[in-house]
């Protein structure tokens, strides 16, 4: 078999306007793989590549394109072409697309769609970003409770091509209220003439439309479901969230959490790093950096307060960076572990004393080792440093080491406590950004350092 470069084949076919080759490439590759190849092309080329295939396949490949590419293509094709594309897209994906289109294009598009599609889009688009409603789709299988297993399978067979998943069927009453649930496996294993009502599962695992999308994703993960139903307050079935959406949500939330924790604000949309403009990156980062700069003024004030101590005993200034770095590192470690444990549910906000007790013991062990290292470091690095008369290096080294140990303990406890307190206040623990902890323990660290030094060295 000759290995070939599919990107090159697409380029050649495009140049030669060889629509046959393009069509056959689209039909051979998985839509996701095809979309992956198209990232290197311009939007007009992308459209020329996919326009020749069946409307369903075209919509499938289109759905796998990057969001910014989708928007570009959608804005440059005719209203008729766009309407066909949208009609064949899955219901959750097309709502995401329409939300991103300029208003005039979105309106023109809506007017070109069938009444039924329009209502469906308006319904799905009405849920705020970040909710279960915003990631659900309306292409689910619903069944009445009085038909047989065989009738249900026949019904599913008829509707299969329009549904996002046919493996979970939701049983509803006359008012479309959710009353049960059967997997296709249940239906296949049941005796063909058995009535659904008699073997459907009545255990209710569902989400409300306004639930947080992350909690829905976690429910899917916990119960190993292919999809879970989304209902409103009076139990009416509105849609389903599927397992692949759960994966996307968890990826997205992960990115947002780690960025939040590293003091980067802004929500993470599907545009990649390179496609996001410099000004957006700047805006996401400057926010916290400026807050931290202002928080830093506090440590400046503390330092100025001890100006005289510093000028009499210059050697103390030489170990300021060590004190600050170590505090920041150990505090951030503790915060990371606690925030992650809270997110995974290993730790609940009521466990605050258990956490403090555990962190205290860990901190004591770490502080012992770091204290000894700090003593050795002062003795070695400062062996030639000028020391005021009446003091000796060993004494100073012990004081510095002792302050560092106190700082490790205090920073670890602050790093662990802050997210616990924030979580107790029902906020997302990840808002406690690691750099904020660093800046905060800088202030406490300086206080510890100078208090210990002035007390034990009497400067």
Q: How far is the CB of 346 from its own copies (least distance, A)?
A: 3
Instruction: Please identify which residue in 42, 300, 388, 427 interacts with its own copies, judged by CB under 8 A.
Output: 300
Q: Is 350 in the site for its own copies (CB under 8 A)?
A: no
Q: Is 195 in the site for its own copies (CB under 8 A)?
A: no
Q: How far is the CB of 41 from its own copies (least distance, A)?
A: 16
Three-state DSSP class for residue 314: coil
DSSP secondary structure letter of residue 351 = G
Distance CA 416, CA 39 (A): 43
Q: Which residue lies nearer to its own copies by CB, 193 or 307?
A: 307
Q: Is 2 in the site for its own copies (CB under 8 A)?
A: no
Instruction: Please identify which residue in 85, 209, 216, 263 interacts with its own copies, judged by CB under 8 A.
Output: 263
Q: How far is the CB of 298 from its own copies (least distance, A)?
A: 10
Three-state DSSP class for residue 80: helix
Q: How far is the CB of 99 from its own copies (least distance, A)?
A: 21
Q: How far is the CB of 107 from its own copies (least distance, A)?
A: 31
Q: Is 250 in the site for its own copies (CB under 8 A)?
A: yes
Asked if residues 215 and 238 have their Cβ atoms less than 8 Å apart, the reply is no
Complete DSSP assignment for 309-342:
HHHH-THHHHTHHHHHHHHHHHHHHHHHHHHHHH
Distance CA 210, CA 193 (A): 38
CA distances (Å), 43 to each of 48, 72, 106, in order? 9, 6, 18
Site string for its own copies, 148-167 (x = CB under 8 A): -----x--xx--xx----xx
The number of residues making up the chain comes to: 459
Q: Is 273 in the site for its own copies (CB under 8 A)?
A: yes
Instruction: Please identify which residue in 86, 435, 444, 448 interacts with its own copies, judged by CB under 8 A.
Output: 435
**Which residue intervals of 160-199 are DSSP H helices?**
184-189, 196-199
Return the residues of window 211-240 that contact its own copies according to CB under 8 A. Answer: 220-224, 226
Q: Is 293 in the site for its own copies (CB under 8 A)?
A: yes
DSSP secondary structure letter of residue 166 = S
Instruction: Please identify which residue in 122, 129, 188, 394 interacts with its own copies, judged by CB under 8 A.
Output: 188
DSSP secondary structure letter of residue 349 = G
Q: Is 261 in the site for its own copies (CB under 8 A)?
A: yes
Instruction: Please identify which residue in 289, 394, 427, 455 interacts with its own copies, judged by CB under 8 A.
Output: 289
Query: Which of these ranges, 2-10, 51-59, 229-237, 273-281, lies near its own copies under the rule CB under 8 A?
Result: 273-281
Distance CA 93, CA 34 (A): 18
Asked if residues 124 and 99 have their Cβ atoms less than 8 Å apart, the reply is no
Nearest to 136 by CA among 215, 242, 211: 242
Instruction: Please identify which residue in 358, 391, 398, 431 interacts with its own copies, judged by CB under 8 A.
Output: 358
Asked if residues 124 and 159 have their Cβ atoms less than 8 Å apart, the reply is no
Distance CA 195, CA 147 (A): 5
Q: Which residue lies nearer to its own copies by CB, 33 or 111?
A: 33
Q: How far is the CB of 173 from its own copies (least distance, A)?
A: 19
Distance CA 315, CA 367 (A): 22
Q: How far is the CB of 361 from its own copies (least distance, A)?
A: 5
Residue 75: count other Cβ atoms within 10 Å of its Cβ: 13
Q: Is 70 in the site for its own copies (CB under 8 A)?
A: no
Q: Is 281 in the site for its own copies (CB under 8 A)?
A: yes
Return the residues of window 386-425 that contact its own copies according to CB under 8 A. Answer: 386
Distance CA 176, CA 231 (A): 10
Q: Is 317 in the site for its own copies (CB under 8 A)?
A: yes
């Amino acid at each position: 078999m000759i290995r070939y470069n599919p990107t090159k084949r697409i380029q050649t076919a495009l140049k030669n306007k060889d629509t046959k080759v393009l069509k056959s490439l689209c039909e051979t590759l998985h839509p996701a793989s095809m979309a992956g190849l198209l990232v290197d092309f311009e939007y007009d080329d992308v459209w020329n590549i996919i326009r020749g295939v069946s409307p369903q396949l075209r919509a499938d490949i289109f759905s796998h394109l990057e969001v910014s590419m989708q928007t570009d293509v959608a804005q440059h094709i005719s209203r008729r072409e766009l309407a066909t594309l949208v009609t064949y897209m899955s219901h959750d994906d097309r709502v995401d697309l329409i939300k991103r289109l300029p208003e005039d294009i979105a309106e023109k598009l809506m007017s070109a769609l069938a009444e039924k599609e329009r209502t469906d889009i308006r319904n799905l688009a009405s849920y705020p970003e970040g909710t279960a409603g915003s990631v659900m789709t309306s292409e689910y299988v619903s069944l009445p409770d009085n038909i047989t297993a065989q009738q249900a399978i026949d019904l599913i067979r008829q509707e299969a091509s329009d549904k996002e998943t046919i493996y979970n069927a939701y049983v509803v009453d006359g008012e479309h209220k959710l009353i049960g649930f059967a997997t296709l496996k249940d239906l296949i294993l049941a005796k063909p003439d058995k009535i659904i009502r008699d073997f459907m599962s009545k255990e209710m695992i569902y989400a409300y439309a306004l639930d947080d999308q992350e909690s829905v994703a976690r429910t899917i993960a916990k119960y190993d479901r292919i999809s879970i139903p989304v209902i409103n307050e009076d139990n009416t079935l509105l849609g389903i969230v599927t397992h692949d959406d759960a994966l996307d949500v968890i990826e997205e939330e992960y990115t947002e959490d780690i960025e939040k924790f590293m003091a980067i604000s802004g929500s993470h949309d599907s545009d990649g790093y390179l496609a996001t403009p410099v000004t957006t990156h700047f805006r996401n980062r400057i926010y916290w950096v400026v807050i931290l700069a202002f928080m830093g003024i506090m440590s400046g004030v503390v330092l100025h307060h001890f100006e005289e101590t510093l000028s009499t005993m210059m050697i103390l200034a030489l170990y300021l960076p060590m004190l600050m770095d170590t505090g920041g590192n150990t505090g951030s470690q503790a915060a990371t572990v606690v925030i992650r444990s809270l997110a995974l549910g290993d730790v609940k906000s009521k466990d605050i004393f258990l956490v403090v007790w555990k962190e205290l013991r860990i901190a004591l062990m770490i502080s012992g080792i770091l204290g000894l290292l700090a003593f050795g470091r002062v003795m070695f690095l400062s062996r030639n440093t000028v020391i005021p008369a009446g003091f000796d290096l060993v004494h100073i080294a012990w004081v510095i080491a002792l302050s560092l140990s106190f700082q490790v303990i205090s920073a670890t406890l602050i790093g662990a406590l802050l997210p616990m307190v924030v979580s107790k206040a029902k906020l997302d623990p990840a808002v406690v950004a690691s750099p904020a902890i660093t800046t905060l323990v800088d202030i406490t660290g300086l206080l510890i350092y100078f208090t210990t030094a002035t007390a034990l060295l009497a400067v």
